[in-house]
């Protein structure tokens, strides 16, 4: 089955939990490719996790949506 790329807008409690689920492989055929939040400190915590090497961080959700 083909992998589906996901981006998460809002890295609060639920966004962090969803990010960790993707990065740990709990979401079958799902790949976290982008995260978006106005606070860069929240995103830095996600980007420091194992498996987040290819995740791109955005502070503007419109830019994330148009990034391809």
Q: How many CB atoms lie under 10 A from the CB of residue 17?
A: 9
CA distances from 37 to 2, 28, 34, 66 (A): 28, 25, 10, 16
Q: pLDDT tens across 5-59, in order?
A: 999 999 999 999 999 999 999 999 999 999 999 999 999 999 999 999 999 999 9
CB 37 within 8 A of CB 19: no
Number of H helices, E strands in the chain: 3, 3
The structure's pTM equals 0.92
| Whether the predicted pLDDT of 68 surpasses 90 | no
DSSP letters along 5-25, please? EEEEE--SHHHHHHHHHHHTT
């Amino acid at each position: 089955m083909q992998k589906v790329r996901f981006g998460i807008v809002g890295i609060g409690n639920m966004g962090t939990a969803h990010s960790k689920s993707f990065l740990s492989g709990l979401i079958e055929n799902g790949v976290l490719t982008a995260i978006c939040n106005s606070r860069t400190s929240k995103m830095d915590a996600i980007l420091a996790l194992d498996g987040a090497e290819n995740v791109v961080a955005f502070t503007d959700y419109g830019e994330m949506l148009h990034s391809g």
